[in-house]
Structure formats: C-alpha cells, structure tokens
Amino acid sequence: MKKVIMGNHALSYGAKLGRAQVIAAYPITPQTQVVELLSEMCADKSLDAMFIKVESEHSAMAACLGASLAGARTFTATSAQGLALMHELLHWASGGRLPVVMGNINRAMAPGWSIWSDQNDSLSQRDTGWMQFYCSSNQEVLDTVIQAFKVSEKLLIPSMVILDAFTLSHTYEVVDIPDQKKVDEYLPPFNPSIKLTPEEPHAFGGLTSPEHYFELRYKLQKEMEKAPALIEKTGKEYEKMFGRYLGLVEKHRCDDADLILITSGAMGSTARIAVDELRKEGIKAGNLRIKVFRPFPFEIIRNAVKGAKKIAVVDRNISYGHHGMFFEEVKSALYGYSDGLPVFGFITGLGGRDITPSTFKEITQYTLERDKPKEEIIWIGVKL
Amino acid sequence: MKKEKKMKLSLPEVELMNSGHMACQGCGATLAMRFALKALGQKVALCIPACCWSVIDGPFPYSSLDVPIFHCAFETAAVSASGVKAGLEMVGDKETTVVAWAGDGGTFDIGIQALSGVAERNDDIIYICYDNEAYMNTGIQRSSATPYGAWTTTTPVKHFKNRPKKDMEAIMAAHRIPYIATASIGYPEDLVKKVKKAKEIKGTKFLHIFAPCPPGWKSQPEDTIKLARMAVQNAIFPLYEIEWGEKYTLNIKLKEKKPINDYLKIQGRFRHLTKKEIVFIQEEVDKKWERLLLCVNRSK
C-alpha cells in the first residue's frame, strides 16, 4: 500500500511492521512524531507492544536494554542531545550484545540551540559499537528499520537508523508500506539462545577481569566484520520480496566518472541531481552515497573509486582539530589501495544550512580547478 | 509412641545465595540479600547497578546467586527493572518478580531520577535499597544517605557531614505508590514479611533496608547485627510501612526509646563528635521520631 508520509512516520511504520515488542522513548524535536504515532499504534492495539513513557533518553535506552535482555524486540528513537545523554548506555547495548534498533534524527548539537540537521550527534557515537545506517529517503528509512532488526538480531549488535532533521523527518514522500505477512516472512520473531529468565539463571555483565574482557571485545569486532556481507545478503533478500535493494552504498553514475562526489544521508539525493546536471555540461561526475558508516564498507568503496581521477568527500559534520569524519574514513579506506588518488575534504551545511545542487557544483568547480587539495578542510558556504 | 516435636523455622528454608561470595566480614548487605531471596523465591530476576553487590556476587563467570542478574548501569536500576518486566511480559512470562537491587548511592543520588520515573508510572517492580550510608564500594565516600556527623573519606573529621540524611521514604511517599517499607537486617522476620508482602502487590514497591558496613563505619564485624538492632531501638532507623503515600504503620513499637550515645560510640565514623554535636543529633532524631508518630497516629 502506498502512503504519503513523513520520515518520522516511516520510522514508526518500520517499527510496527517489525513487530517491536517493547518501546521506550522520550520526546525531543525533531523526533516527536515517531513516538506519537507509535503511542497511537500501541493504544489502538494495531501494534502489540508495551510502550514505557520514560523520564529521559537515558532511561529510554536502559529500559530497552532490560527488555532486550529478557528476549523482547525493542525500539526507540531520539536525536542530538537525547542521543548524547544515552551515550553511556550505547556502550552497554553493544557490550551486552543487545540488538536494540533505534531511529536517530540527525540534529546539530547545542550550544547554540539548534533543531536543524547535521551529523555530529550520531557520528560522535561512532565508537560505541553500533551499526549506523544513513538513509536518503523516507522509503529507505522504513525498509532499513525492518532490515536492521534482522541484521542486529543475527549478529547481536544494535543498529541506529539515521535520517536528516526536517529534510527527511518532516518531509512527506510517497512510501510503499509492505504487507505485514510478507514482512513476517522476511523477519522471524526474535528468539535469542541466552536470555534473562529464572528458568535458566545467568548473571549478565558482571565484573570481568583482564582474563576475559579482551576476548569479549574481540568477539564483538569479529561479529561486526560479518555485518557488511550480511547487510548485502539481507538487502538482496529484501529486494527479492519487496523490490528494493538495501546495500552498503548507493552508486550513481560512478562507473565511468572522473570525479566522484562521496556523500551520506539526504544530501545524497541532492548530489544525484547535481551529477545529472553536471553530466549535461559534459563533466563526468558520479555520486557514491555511503549508507552504512559502521561497519565501514572498505572493500566496496575501494572498488567503486577505481576508475576515478579525483574524489570529493562532502561532510555535514566535523571532528574538531581534525577533518570531516567521512573524509577521514574514506582516506583511511583508500590508503595503500588508490595509488595517490587525490581526495578533497569539504565541510558544508552545519546546523541545517541548506545543501543544494549548486553546493555540489561549487564543490565540483573547486575540485576540477586543482590537481590536489591545498587545505586540510575546504569550507563551503561559510559567511564571514 | 512419642510424638516428635517439629521445630518451626521463623524464616523460609530456601537458600538462593551460596557461599563463595566476595563480601567483607560482617557485611550487612549480604544478609539483606539472603533474607530478601528467602522471601522472593526462585521466580525472580534482579537488576543490580554499580554497588557493593556488583562485586559481592562474584566475577565472571561466577555468581553466588541462583537467580538471574542483569548487572546494569549505575543510575538505571529502577528503569532497567521496568524494561526487564516489560520484556518478560511480552515474551509470555507474567509471573517473575523483577527486583531492582541498589545501594544508597545508586538510590538516593545517581539513580533517583530513573526511580522517580518508575514510581510516577507505578511500574510493576520491587525496588530494594540496601543502605550502608555511603559509597562503600569505591572506598567510603559520602552519599546523601550518609547521616549528619559521620566521617567519610570525602567528609574528613575536620569537615564532617553537616547535612542530614535525605528522607527517601518521604520522597517516595510523595509519589503515591502502593507500598513503601523500611526494614533491617537486625529484624529478619520483619524484613522477610515485608518482601513477601511487596511481592503480592502490583505496582511500584520501595523497600529500604538498613545494612551496616564494618569497614565503612569503622565498627567490628561482630557488631553488625547489634548496630542494626540499636538503630531501630533508638529510632535512628525506625521500621515502618507507608501505603499509597498516606497510611503509616509502625512495625516495631518502642516501649522505651534508647539514647543514641551507645550506637555512636561503637562506630569509628562518629568518634570525633563532641558532646554538643551528639546532643544536636539526638534532638534531630527525636524530632524525626515525633513526626513519624504523628503520621502513624493520623493514619489510625
């Protein structure tokens, strides 16, 4: 069934179709519609779930962890300050191997107060052991929630499904809402082999000496390394059943491109438009949108840029004292594999400043005019 | 034939706590757990945040308890329990009692926000705070449960704790939850009775168990029970219940309220106190006791 819905409701429908059993959430702009719709779904019993209306994001995640440990499928959603407040428990989720799925609406961090989009909230959580999926359409948001449950529960690693504030969260798009029966076929119920139950008492997360801790973290990484292949496999299965592939990256006219613009999130669709326009002007540009940031898809990125002469990475985030974070990661992936391919690092759109096709044209212009980057960070659109 | 006289136990026989745990000698918190589990039985799940008990239970891969434990983050005991309860219900287990088991720091200080949220929603869990009146696991730092006058490593004798212990029962009563009780390891029958009662009530139940700590209180391990009983008899820690935030019941009535001097004397943490300060503490205990009696009488 096709519906015109906002990105936030795409998250709610994803959680509903995924049959989340325990939801715990706290309101924050621009996430509120996610939990409003889920509250209604729980109230009218169209979703058989318990909704714990907690007093903070910290408690939202804590409740999800408890419920997940008891063997229930859990979902929450947040944004920016709320995600930062959860930080401690993000480690608890991955360390405890609890496959919580969470929606995060990318919003800039205060101060000054901002409710608009940038990626510093979720990228600040990159080392917490969560998988991170950056979506570029409402359809992809809905589909990815369902896929995330499947991948997370197989690996026992939590997932964050990420969408841009307002550009996606509050923008209405046509979304195909899959049939529940087919989703049930794709996503079987969560049934962990070990869980918290008096039938078989275990102590979870207790004091762990240097004799054991190291191996637990090794195992977490080893499972994380299985994620890229599993995401591709489950993405293909999804395509077979629902007609939409869910992969690690999305390529647009990359195969014969001289210049590849690397993007993430909603700006990926803007970049596609820019690429098509640039092509009309005779510039052989392409767009590689990185969807999965953790685990980082090294292999597929190395292969995708093989024929290119230049790379421009566009970040809507910054690691202060360093670079844009996608730029760092792309360079690290290409090191030793790309034979001196120049990689330009651009930062733009912080705090919700618009990113338009002309932004990408400016970036393209800059890149074409230079053999290699002269600056560590190339700022686009700063008004001084 | 001679009829055999059977001895009747005043506490349930079941033992869900085993030897080999990591507690200090004379640990009150250990007795609190042993008695509480006797009352709760096997069908229980515990959420234990950072506190002495996250060590006492034993390191991975050991556990001294025959019940499942979720070792959760410091400030999350109450809401972790809510999550576990919801999760269990959704997977078809509606019987298991879920207990948050936290120390005084995890309850009075860092965990109070989550606890308040759980109580306001009246989530169906038992919250048990075993109170040794300071951060003992980290090496005796003051908490808001530390009483007036006490020495701790962060309230040295030259600047001992100069604020009263937080009135946690009053705070919980303000949430209008179905059941609140104080209990003491010095009165195990009363403690077991209260835990059993809490188990039968739906909604949020808050139990506050007084649990002396020899290393932290600078007391002798053999005085743990004695101190726990003295604190009830001198009304420093009276045993009472509050139902729905309004109905107060005094469980151990005092024919003669003992003075606090002997109690303070056998604890090194109070050794520095002058007569003037002891008189002040006595006055404060008396006032608090009078207030409690007023609440109890009003409930009749």
**pLDDT single digits (tens) A306-325:** 999 999 999 999 999 999 99
Cis before residue A30, ω within 30 degrees of 0? yes
Average pLDDT over residues A235-264: 98
Q: The CATH number of the domain where A291 resides is what?
A: 3.40.50.920
Q: How confident is the model at residue B43 (pLDDT cuts 50, 70, 90)?
A: very high
Q: Indicate the residue type of A59.
A: S
A326 within domain boundaries: yes
H-helix or E-strand containing B293? helix B275-299
**Mean pLDDT of the A148-164 span:** 98
> Is it the case that residue B35 has pLDDT exceeding 70?
yes
Residue B184 contacts residue B210 (beta carbons within 8 Å): yes
At residue B284, does pLDDT exceed 70?
A: yes
Q: What is the pLDDT of residues A212-232, one digit of tens each?
A: 999 999 999 999 999 999 999
3-state SS assignment for residue B173: helix
Task: Provide, for chain B, the percentages of residues in helix, strand and coil under a 3-state DSSP scheme, each rounded to the nearest 5.
Answer: 40, 15, 45
Cβ separation B70–A58 shorter than 8 A: no
Which two three-digit tokens encode residue A215?
Answer: 């191996």
Shared-domain flag, residues A317 and A170:
no
Tokens of A10: 């795409």
Count chain A–chain B contacts defined by CB atoms under 8 A. Answer: 166
Q: Residues with Cβ < 8 Å from A281, sequence gap 6 or more?
A: none
- Within 48-67 of B, beta carbons closer than 8 Å to A belong to 54-55, 57-61, 63, 65-67
Distance CA B41, CA B208 (A): 19
The answer to whether position A197 is within a domain reads no
In 3D space, the residue among A165, A166, A195, A198 whose CA is nearest the CA of residue A71 turns out to be A195
Radius of gyration of chain B (CA): 19
Q: What DSSP state is assigned to residue B17?
A: B
Is the predicted pLDDT of residue B2 greater than 80, yes or no? no
For residue B117, list chain A residues with Cβ-Cβ distance below 8 A: 54-56, 59
Please tell me the distance from the alpha carbon of residue A166 to that of residue A31, in angstroms, as a whole number. Answer: 10
Q: What is the ipTM of this complex?
A: 0.97
Mark whether A42 and A154 lie in a shared domain.
Answer: yes
Angle at B76 between CA A62 and CA A130, to 5 degrees: 35
pLDDT at A341 over 70: yes
Q: Are B179 and B124 in contact (CB under 8 A)?
A: no
The pLDDT, as a whole number, for residue B158 is 94
Q: Where are the domains of chain B?
A: 28-299
Is A107 among the domain residues? yes
Please compute the mean of the pLDDT values over residues B262-287 and round it to a whole number. 98
Residue B4: pLDDT above 80?
Answer: no
User: Do A60 and A134 fall into the same domain?
Assistant: yes
Cα-only R_g, chain A:
21
Fold category of B28-299 in CATH: Rossmann fold (3.40.50)
Give the CATH number for residue A35. 3.40.50.970
Does position A189 have pLDDT exceeding 80, yes or no? yes
Using CA atoms, how far residue B49 sits from A310, B74, B81, B144, in Å, is 52, 5, 11, 17
Task: Tell me which residue in B57, B60, B93 faces A197 most closely, judged by beta carbons.
Answer: B93
Q: How far is CA B23 from CA A324, A379, B52, in A?
A: 50, 59, 8
B184 φ, ψ to 5°?
A: -140, 145
- Statement to judge: residues A104 and A222 lie in one domain: yes
Residue B5, pLDDT above cutoff 80: no
Stretch A28-37: mean pLDDT, rounded? 98
A90 and A171 in a single domain? The answer is: yes
- Which burial class, exposed, middle or buried, applies to A55 when counting CB atoms under 10 A from its CB (0-12, 13-18, 19+)? middle
Residue-wise pLDDT tens digits, B222-245: 999 999 999 999 999 999 999 999
- Tokens encoding A275: 């690429």
Check whether A104 has a pLDDT greater than 90: yes
Do β-strands A159-164 and A101-106 pair in parallel, antiparallel, or remain unpaired? parallel
Are B151 and B269 within 8 A, CB to CB? Answer: yes
Beta bridge mates, A74: A22
B86, A196: Cβ pair inside 8 Å?
no
What pLDDT was estimated at residue B9? 86
Domain that includes residue A85, residue range: 2-177+184-189+203-242
Q: What is the pLDDT of residue B7?
A: 79
* 3-state SS assignment for residue A52: strand
Residues A265, A211 within the same domain? no
Q: Do residues A309 and A215 share a domain?
A: no
For residue A194, tell me if it sits in a domain.
Answer: no
Alpha-carbon distances, residue B25 vs A207, B18, B152, B186, B265 (angstroms): 20, 15, 19, 16, 20
C-alpha A359/C-alpha A363 separation (Å) is 6
Provide the token pair at A123. 């990228």
Amino acid symbol at B5: K
- Model confidence pLDDT, tens digit, residues B156-212: 999 999 999 999 999 999 999 999 999 999 999 999 999 999 999 999 999 999 999
Q: What mean pLDDT is reported for chain B?
A: 97
pLDDT computed for residue B129 by the predictor: 98
- Concatenated DSSP letters of B81-139: HHHHHHHHHHTT----EEEEEEEHIIIIITTHHHHHHHHHHT-S-EEEEEE-SSBTTTT
Give the mean pLDDT of A26-55. Answer: 98
Q: Could you tell me if A105 and A39 lie in one domain? A: yes
Claim to verify: residue A237 and residue A263 sit in the same structural domain? no
Q: Are residues A65 and A83 in the same domain?
A: yes
d(CA A115, CA A113): 7
Pairing of strands B240-243, B179-184: antiparallel
Tens of pLDDT, residue by residue over A363-374, are 999 999 999 999
Asked if A24 and A163 sit in the same domain, the reply is yes
**Chain A 226-255, CB below 8 Å of chain B: which residues?**
none
Question: How far apart (Å, rounded) are the C-alpha atoms in residues B289 and A92?
Answer: 43
Q: Determine the residue of chain B that is closest to A49 in CA distance.
A: B90
User: What is the H or E stretch that residue B28 is in?
Assistant: helix B28-40
pTM for the whole thing?
0.97
Nearest CA in chain B to A56: B114
Query: Stretch B87-114: mean pLDDT, rounded?
Result: 98
> Which pLDDT score is estimated for A2?
98
Chain B residues near residue A203 by CB distance under 8 angstroms: 57-58, 60, 63, 65, 68-69, 71
Whether the CB of A202 is below 8 Å from some CB of chain B: the reply is: yes
- Pair of tokens at residue A364: 């393209």
Average pLDDT rounded to a whole number, residues A126-135: 98
Contact A241, A272 (CB under 8 A): no
Q: Give the span between the Cα atoms of B270 and B273, in whole angstroms.
A: 6
Q: What does pLDDT average to over chain A?
A: 98
Decide if A49 and B90 are in contact by the 8 Å CB cutoff.
yes
Query: Among all residues of chain A, which has the CA nearest to that of B79?
Result: A63
Please report residues of B whose CB lies closer than 8 A to that of A87: none
A197 CB neighbours in chain B (<8 A) are 45, 68, 88, 93, 96
Sort out which chain A residues have CB atoms less than 8 A from B93's CB and list them.
Answer: 70, 197
Kindly determine whether residue A201 and residue B65, on different chains, have CB atoms separated by under 8 Å.
yes
For residue B1, what pLDDT is reported?
58
pLDDT at A98: 98
Q: Do A255 and A153 reside in the same domain of the chain?
A: no
Q: What total number of domains does chain A contain?
A: 2
Query: Which positions ≥6 away from A276 have C-beta within 8 Å?
Result: A253
**A168, A134 in Cβ contact below 8 A?**
no
Q: Is residue A196 part of a domain?
A: no
Residues of B (68-97) whose Cβ lies below 8 Å from A:
68-73, 75-76, 79-91, 93, 96
Sheet of B97-103: strands edge to edge? Answer: A203-204, B69-71, B44-48, B97-103, B126-131, B205-210, B179-184, B240-243, B247-250
